[in-house]
Chains A and B, each alone.
Chain A
């Protein structure tokens, strides 16, 4: 039965598409070890020099640092605001709830170019210079809805009796929130943070419009695409980033899996 399942036409199709999705990553990793300044087939020979050269690529490392800062700051804000909204939406019914849900999900579907333009004009209007700060703010707009969905799913997934029990025993609403609800939601919060961070770290379309003199990594990468001889270095970094982000995603999916189980651990 089991063997048959994996010899099926469907599984072959799955493998084919999985290969299609992973092919570009594979190609980049292979090229990162290729001993040639040109990224062309056939391959020349094995080298680690691109990886060692990375250590001296200051502009590149600055861009990585900028992206990490923007990622951390914007994810932190997104998780705080997203979790607050999720707590209200999952536990209360109030006028404007549906409206807020509709509005807050718009950033998920609106073309980014529209959001970029609107934010460029906002910052021009209020006199905030385009900068990493502007990029971080833009990233919160696209990440808050995701955080809300992830955390609300977690809150909907466990019974409210724990919260009720805590309050019956004399805990205040806010005490219950801090000592019961949030600890239970912790895996979802962590998953939401990681997902926000990876989105921000990789986000290009908004960052391109909103960075000032300092670049985030994707904006820097974009500027390097025009210079073929600088690409091997970029590709080596890409290989590292891809491996790290794959690990981060697997970790965050794992957290979310724990996070959305119906009964929280220790509550059986």
Chain B
């Protein structure tokens, strides 16, 4: 009985705060998707036209598809690059492994925008890489292709996400009972086969978690494409952002967000058991 009042006092303020600022806004967004316009009298009228417009115009959903493809490539490459890293840290780095992991995480907490700016300095047409390749004679003239393309978006996002993909894989590898590998070795299993039949399957939940930790936020990404994507590299998130910054069509923007949110929720529900949020908070 006493516990009940303690729980209420501790839980009520944070729960109310999150409901008011997270759940309620999503509800308002849903209501807004039926409104005729963003401001004034139009805002008081309700209509289904926005939905008709959204689903009649195939280019919106096509761009969502493209964004899913970009997010898929990004997540796949980030996981493939992170796995050996996490494996090295967990199995080979010994006592130093947490320190070595921390060293990798540090850059991820410095300014995102400025690291992207730096990639522009490196990849841009007057950039470090182009001038370097020019001086080597590998290329004849500065190639602007290194930036403002879908590939530039993927490269930049992979760069951004590698530390976060490494964390869940590392945690999964850390949880593997090392005696299983000893047992495999005692029974005459060669190391690579032990890796394929013991380590890899047991680390799979971490790999799947890492994939979605990258895939889901990348689906709605708009900052990176705005900075390095150019016209070819825009994503679904840019479309949403545009409804609020230039087009000022809030109801349409609300529908686009709802569709994205629905997609994310479906993914989360299907892969729920693999996605351990606590892995994100650190090793």
* Shortest Cβ distance from B92 into A: residue: A10
Given that A118-B29, A122-B24, A253-B102 are known contacts, is A204 also in contact with B87, CB under 8 Å in the complex?
no
* Shortest Cβ distance from A199 into B: residue: B109
Whether the Cβ atoms of B115 and A109 lie closer than 8 Å is no
Across the interface, B25 reaches (CB within 8 A) one of A18, A22, A122, A256, namely A122
Distance of A221 Cα from B112 Cα, bound (Å): 11
**Shortest Cβ distance from A81 into chain B, in angstroms?**
4
Does any Cβ of B come within 8 Å of A39's Cβ? yes
Whether the Cβ atoms of B131 and A204 lie closer than 8 Å is no
- Size category of the A interface is 35 or more
* Shortest Cβ distance from A101 into B: residue: B277
Across the interface, A149 reaches (CB within 8 A) one of B23, B85, B159, B278, namely B278
For window 116-170 of chain A, which residues contact chain B by CB distance below 8 Å? 116-122, 124-125, 137-138, 140-141, 144-146, 148-150, 153
Does any Cβ of A come within 8 Å of B260's Cβ? yes
Q: Which residues of A contact B162 (CB under 8 A)?
A: 17, 20-21
Whether the Cβ atoms of B220 and A202 lie closer than 8 Å is no
Does any Cβ of B come within 8 Å of A57's Cβ? no
Does any Cβ of A come within 8 Å of B69's Cβ? no
Whether the Cβ atoms of A198 and B6 lie closer than 8 Å is no
Q: Which residues of B contact A242 (CB under 8 A)?
A: 110-111, 114
**Shortest Cβ distance from A53 into chain B, in angstroms?**
18
Whether the Cβ atoms of A140 and B21 lie closer than 8 Å is yes
Does any Cβ of A come within 8 Å of B17's Cβ? yes
- Size category of the B interface is 35 or more
Whether the Cβ atoms of B118 and A218 lie closer than 8 Å is no
Across the interface, A92 reaches (CB within 8 A) one of B3, B107, B250, namely B3
**Shortest Cβ distance from B6 into chain A, in angstroms?**
6
* Shortest Cβ distance from B6 into A: residue: A173
Whether the Cβ atoms of A221 and B114 lie closer than 8 Å is yes
**Shortest Cβ distance from B76 into chain A, in angstroms?**
17
Whether the Cβ atoms of B257 and A104 lie closer than 8 Å is no
Across the interface, A173 reaches (CB within 8 A) one of B2, B85, B217, namely B2
**Shortest Cβ distance from B38 into chain A, in angstroms?**
8
Q: Which residues of A contact B282 (CB under 8 A)?
A: 150, 256
Distance of A10 Cα from B22 Cα, bound (Å): 43
Query: Contact string, B14-57, partner A, CB cutoff 8 A, digits 1/0?
Result: 11011001111110110010000000000000000000000000
Does any Cβ of A come within 8 Å of B88's Cβ? yes
* Shortest Cβ distance from B213 into A: residue: A109
Whether the Cβ atoms of A25 and B113 lie closer than 8 Å is no
Distance of A21 Cα from B277 Cα, bound (Å): 24
Query: Contact string, B199-240, partner A, CB cutoff 8 A, digits 1/0?
Result: 000000000000011001101111100010000000001001
Across the interface, B29 reaches (CB within 8 A) one of A117, A208, A221, A235, namely A117
Q: Which residues of A contact B17 (CB under 8 A)?
A: 81, 140, 144
Across the interface, B104 reaches (CB within 8 A) one of A17, A40, A116, A209, namely A17
For window 35-94 of chain A, which residues contact chain B by CB distance below 8 Å? 38-42, 81-82, 84-85, 87-88, 92, 94
Binding site for B on A (CB under 8 A): 5, 8, 10-11, 13-14, 17-18, 20-25, 27-28, 31, 38-42, 81-82, 84-85, 87-88, 92, 94, 100, 103-122, 124-125, 137-138, 140-141, 144-146, 148-150, 153, 173, 198-199, 202, 204-205, 208-209, 218, 221-222, 225, 231, 234-235, 238, 241-242, 245-246, 249-250, 253, 256-257
Q: A81-B17, A122-B25, A221-B111 are known contacts; what are 5 more A-B pairs with Cβ within 8 Å?
A: A10-B88, A10-B93, A14-B93, A114-B261, A173-B2
Binding site for A on B (CB under 8 A): 2-4, 6-7, 10-11, 13-15, 17-18, 21-26, 28-29, 32, 81, 84-85, 87-89, 92-94, 98, 100, 102-115, 117-119, 121-122, 126-128, 131-132, 159, 162-163, 212-213, 216-217, 219-223, 227, 237, 240-241, 244, 250, 253-254, 257, 260-261, 264, 268, 275, 277-278, 280-282
